[in-house]
């Protein structure tokens, strides 16, 4: 089948020699690891040759020769001439082989070529350099090439490429550092139209709209492209993909917890005329960024940083202000998030001194301005570990996210601040990503920092410009009292106990007042209300421990709990006669029940999924809806549940679909209702070739 129509030079109306072109998409796309994106259109990677065939009506006249002209941009912002002879490594060139009436062209792109949609014209030239015939332009896409050793995104290990470029199914870690949960995520970077939308995202950045030629020329550089992506995934100050919102109501959009993958977000943005999609939070921003970067050919993985600091003033400490009742004072801007998600992309940093290659932090969640845009990175992980906070881009902000000290201050009625707790190891814990060896967690904390409490860790903190403060452990505690909080892993909908243990290492009994405060918070530390407060006079015997139990009932916390299902418990112990209180804190994520998914056999090219769920709450659920999707299986589909789901009642739905692509596939399901949200499930199935 012809890939183009042809036009001939007016001077030679009967001399159309080139009558057809075969772009050989099937074999080229297979060789370039792009056949999952498309098998019909030509999609190739830079720094690697590809072949096209010219069908001719006759042999080429003596001393006539071929030229290739490449056009980039909607208004031909960049035009490149491909030479027949091999030039320098930074030039497009081709060689040809003629067999009877066919010419095989092998086209070589440089490893630093601009990524994008190219239009290619073949010119047949006369010996005097005039155009004898010019074909109409054919289109192909060029992507980054992590398989090519000369490309700055080169990643030499095939198992890493299979995960960080080719895997469309991911896992995102959430919860708290000592109670890690996970949800499945469908990246879907090879789904229909996703690649086109990724380039549409680049075309709508502020830089592209301001100066499309300069923007196009810079698209050879993954540092530039990835930074643009972090700005465009959020919609702050540009035509970006997603609007962030961290509190209800979400009635004019989709609640962040309802998304199970990136594809519906990308498609909705494009289909609705480049209008921002509502709503996202950090894991949604990171999931979408991972999809776009993997699709463009930049190896990328999603990272979760537990106990993540947001240091607004750049002093590398997070200051929490409490009043004399131990309630938080709202005027503070620093915060500590239970977890925060970003992505890392792999690239060489030729713009920086040696030692900064490899994984780079990119954070698309809109937090602080960087060079006038809500973007963050790329920032070398290696620079963060060594405290080199002057490195491009945004190293100081990222360093604080994983290393800031947390200081708690009591603000007295007379306005004086009293330091009541310093925590040097509470930030940047269990930094996590999905393993390349399966669906389990890999801990990458030591890529970001030296072990907590080590000499190197404190030296790096000083090098970064942090004010080294004495830790609570170094402050002589009154009567050697110690305070800790213990809890089980409670399930949302149940009553549960929180145990506060006080140890007295001194030789005298200690009389004290204990205040236990349970607060509903979002994962990024926004207070939603007090669930329970308990004040008790206690005596802790010498060299012994004493325990107090706080019973938290469903009715206590359901009134104010956020959609993140997080409870923060603060315990404060004030020894009588001492003016320095001791404080302990625990973030308790409440688990959600599980969805059960069973997948039947493939019959007549159809699969049926059976999904069931039992209501664990003591109240009925209304407005239940299942959302089902899976890369290569089916697009996001909603199944509504009729009527109420009563306490203890099981609800079952079945859904038949026809898989679109072969291989190991993940089916993702989300359930939401009025009182219970963000219940997730996942099933793995193998789709074999049709016989």
Q: pLDDT band for position 4 (50/70/90)?
A: very low
Beta-bridge partners for 507? none
**Cα 5 from Cα 20, distance rounded (Å):** 8
For residue 317, the model assigns a pLDDT of 83
For residue 89, the model assigns a pLDDT of 64
pLDDT at 9 over 70: no
Based on the residue annotation, tell me whether 350 is a catalytic residue of this protein.
no
Tell me which of 340, 423, 531, 678 is the catalytic residue.
340
Based on the residue annotation, tell me whether 58 is a catalytic residue of this protein.
no
Between 545 and 5, where is the model more confident?
A: 545
For residue 238, the model assigns a pLDDT of 92
Calculate the dihedral angle through the C-alpha atoms of 436, 143, 261, 635, rounding to the nearest 10 degrees: -120
181 is written with which tokens?
A: 């949960």
Name the least confident of 310-314, 427-431, 537-541, 562-566.
310-314
pLDDT at 681 over 90: yes
Report the number of secondary-structure helices (H) and strands (E) in the chain.
13, 38
For residue 332, the model assigns a pLDDT of 62
Strands 582-589 and 566-575: antiparallel
What does the pLDDT look like over 608-634, one tens digit per residue? 999 999 999 999 999 999 999 999 999
Query: Distance from CA of residue 634 to its chain's centroid?
Result: 22
Residue from 565, 501, 487, 499 nearest 531 by CA: 565
Name the least confident of 212-221, 319-328, 371-380, 558-567.
319-328
Q: pLDDT band for position 75 (50/70/90)?
A: confident
For residue 429, the model assigns a pLDDT of 95
Q: pLDDT band for position 431 (50/70/90)?
A: very high
- Residue owning tokens 């001393």: 63
Q: How many CA atoms lie within 13 A of 381 on its CB side?
A: 23
Range picked from 123-127, 319-323, 357-361, 363-367 for highest mean pLDDT: 357-361
Annotated binding site: 403, 405, 452, 457
pLDDT at 10 over 60: no
For residue 368, the model assigns a pLDDT of 81
What does the pLDDT look like over 120-164, one tens digit per residue? 999 999 999 998 988 889 999 999 999 999 999 999 999 999 999
For residue 87, the model assigns a pLDDT of 66
Q: What is the mean pLDDT of residues 305-315?
A: 85
Q: pLDDT band for position 474 (50/70/90)?
A: very low
428 is written with which tokens?
A: 């940047």
pLDDT at 3 over 50: no
591 is written with which tokens?
A: 């688990």
Between 172 and 452, where is the model more confident?
A: 172
215 is written with which tokens?
A: 């923007």
Helices 194-203, 282-296: crossing angle, 10 deg rounding: 100
For residue 617, the model assigns a pLDDT of 93
Beta-bridge partners for 666? 684
pLDDT at 223 over 90: yes
For residue 39, the model assigns a pLDDT of 86
pLDDT at 489 over 80: yes
Tell me which of 203, 238, 363, 672 is the catalytic residue.
363
Average pLDDT, rounded, for the chain: 90
Structural domains of the chain, ranges and CATH numbers in brackets? 18-143 (2.60.40.10), 158-464 (3.90.260.10), 481-589 (2.60.40.10), 596-687 (2.60.40.10)
Contact at 8 Å (CB) between 202 and 174?
Answer: no
Based on the residue annotation, tell me whether 340 is a catalytic residue of this protein.
yes
Q: pLDDT band for position 245 (50/70/90)?
A: very high
For residue 237, the model assigns a pLDDT of 87
What does the pLDDT look like over 463-472, one tens digit per residue? 998 665 555 4
pLDDT at 593 over 90: no
Q: pLDDT band for position 233 (50/70/90)?
A: very high
Calculate the dihedral angle through the C-alpha atoms of 281, 282, 284, 286, rounding to the nearest 10 degrees: 160
pLDDT at 492 over 70: yes
pLDDT at 2 over 50: no
Annotated binding site for Ca(2+): 403, 405, 452, 457
Q: What is the pTM of this model?
A: 0.92
Q: How many CA atoms lie within 13 A of 27 on its CB side?
A: 9
For residue 471, the model assigns a pLDDT of 53
For residue 475, the model assigns a pLDDT of 41
- Written in H, E and C, the secondary structure of 592-656 is CCCCEEEECCCECCEEEEEEEEECCCCCCECCCEEEEEECCCEEEEEEECCCCECCCCEEEEEEE
For residue 247, the model assigns a pLDDT of 87
What does the pLDDT look like over 165-181, one tens digit per residue? 999 999 999 999 988 99
For residue 470, the model assigns a pLDDT of 55
Contact at 8 Å (CB) between 420 and 583?
Answer: yes
- Written in H, E and C, the secondary structure of 44-62 is EECCCCEEEEEEECCCCCC
pLDDT at 102 over 60: yes
Name the least confident of 381-390, 432-441, 520-529.
520-529
If one counts every other C-beta atom within 10 angstroms of the C-beta of residue 625, the result is 13
For residue 331, the model assigns a pLDDT of 62
pLDDT at 287 over 70: yes
pLDDT at 14 over 60: no
Q: pLDDT > 90: what percent of the chain?
A: 70
For residue 214, the model assigns a pLDDT of 96
Between 185 and 327, where is the model more confident?
A: 185
Tell me which of 8, 198, 282, 341 is the catalytic residue.
282
Q: pLDDT > 70: what percent of the chain?
A: 94
């Amino acid at each position: 089948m012809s890939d183009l129509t042809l036009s001939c030079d007016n001077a030679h109306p009967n001399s159309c020699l080139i009558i057809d072109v075969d772009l050989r998409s099937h074999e080229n796309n297979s060789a370039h690891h792009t056949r999952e994106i498309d098998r019909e259109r030509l999609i190739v990677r830079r720094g690697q040759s590809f072949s096209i065939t010219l069908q001719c009506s006759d042999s080429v006249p003596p001393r006539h020769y071929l030229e290739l002209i490449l056009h980039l941009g909607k208004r031909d912002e960049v035009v490149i001439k491909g030479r027949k002879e091999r030039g320098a490594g930074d030039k497009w060139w081709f060689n040809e082989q003629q067999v009877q009436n066919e010419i095989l062209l092998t086209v070589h792109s440089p490893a630093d070529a601009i990524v994008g949609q190219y239009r290619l014209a073949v010119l047949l030239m006369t010996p005097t350099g005039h155009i004898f015939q010019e074909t109409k332009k054919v289109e192909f896409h060029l992507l980054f090439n992590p398989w090519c050793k000369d490309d700055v995104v080169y990643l030499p290990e095939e198992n890493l490429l299979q995960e960080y470029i080719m895997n469309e199914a991911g896992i995102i870690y959430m919860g708290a550092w000592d109670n890690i949960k996970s949800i499945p995520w469908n990246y879907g970077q090879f789904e229909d139209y996703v690649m086109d939308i990724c380039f549409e995202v680049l075309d709508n950045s502020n830089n592209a709209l301001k100066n499309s030629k300069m923007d196009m020329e810079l698209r050879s550089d993954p540092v530039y492209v990835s930074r643009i992506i972090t700005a465009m995934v959020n919609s702050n100050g540009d035509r970006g993909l997603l609007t962030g919102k961290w509190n209800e109501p979400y009635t004019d959009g989709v609640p962040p917890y309802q998304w199970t993958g990136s594809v519906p977000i990308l498609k909705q943005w494009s289909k609705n005329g480049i209008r921002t999609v509502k709503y996202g939070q950090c894991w949604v921003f990171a999931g979408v960024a991972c999809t776009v970067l993997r699709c463009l050919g930049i190896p990328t993985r999603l990272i979760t940083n537990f106990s993540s600091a947001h240091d607004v003033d750049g002093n590398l400490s997070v200051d929490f202000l409490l009043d004399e009742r131990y309630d938080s004072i709202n005027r503070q801007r620093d915060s500590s998030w239970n977890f925060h998600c970003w992505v890392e992309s792999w690239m060489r940093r030729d713009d920086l001194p040696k030692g900064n290659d490899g994984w780079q932090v990119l954070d698309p969640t809109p937090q602080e301005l960087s060079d006038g845009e809500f973007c963050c990175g790329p920032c070398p992980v290696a620079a963060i570990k060594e405290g080199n906070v002057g490195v491009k881009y945004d190293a100081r902000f990222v360093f604080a996210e994983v290393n800031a000290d947390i200081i708690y201050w009591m603000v007295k009625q007379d306005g004086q601040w009293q330091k009541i707790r310093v925590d040097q190891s509470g930030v940047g814990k269990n930094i996590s990503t999905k393993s390349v060896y399966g669906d389990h967690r890999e801990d990458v904390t030591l890529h970001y920092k030296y072990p907590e409490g080590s000499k190197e860790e404190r030296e790096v903190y000083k090098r970064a410009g942090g004010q080294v403060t004495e830790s609570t452990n170094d402050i002589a505690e009154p009567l050697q009292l110690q305070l800790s909080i213990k809890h089980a892993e409670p399930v949302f909908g149940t009553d549960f106990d929180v145990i506060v243990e006080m140890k007295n290492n001194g030789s005298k009994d200690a009389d004290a007042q204990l205040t236990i405060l349970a607060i509903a918070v979002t994962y990024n530390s926004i207070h939603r209300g007090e669930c329970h407060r308990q004040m008790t006079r206690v005596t802790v015997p010498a060299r012994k421990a004493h325990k107090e139990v706080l019973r938290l009932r469903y009715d206590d916390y359901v009134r104010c709990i956020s959609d993140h299902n997080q409870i923060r418990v603060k315990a404060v112990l004030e020894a009588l006669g001492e003016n320095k209180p001791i404080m302990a804190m625990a973030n308790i994520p409440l688990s959600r029940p599980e969805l059960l998914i069973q997948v039947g056999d493939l019959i007549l090219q159809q699969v049926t999924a059976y999904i069931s769920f039992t209501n664990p709450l003591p109240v009925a659920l209304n407005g239940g809806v299942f959302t089902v999707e899976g890369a290569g299986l089916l697009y996001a589909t909603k199944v509504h549940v009729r009527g109420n789901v009563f306490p203890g009642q099981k609800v079952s739905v079945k859904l038949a679909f026809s898989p679109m692509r072969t291989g190991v596939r993940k089916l993702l399901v989300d359930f939401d209702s009025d009182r219970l949200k963000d219940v997730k499930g996942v099933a793995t199935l193998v789709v074999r070739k049709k016989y």
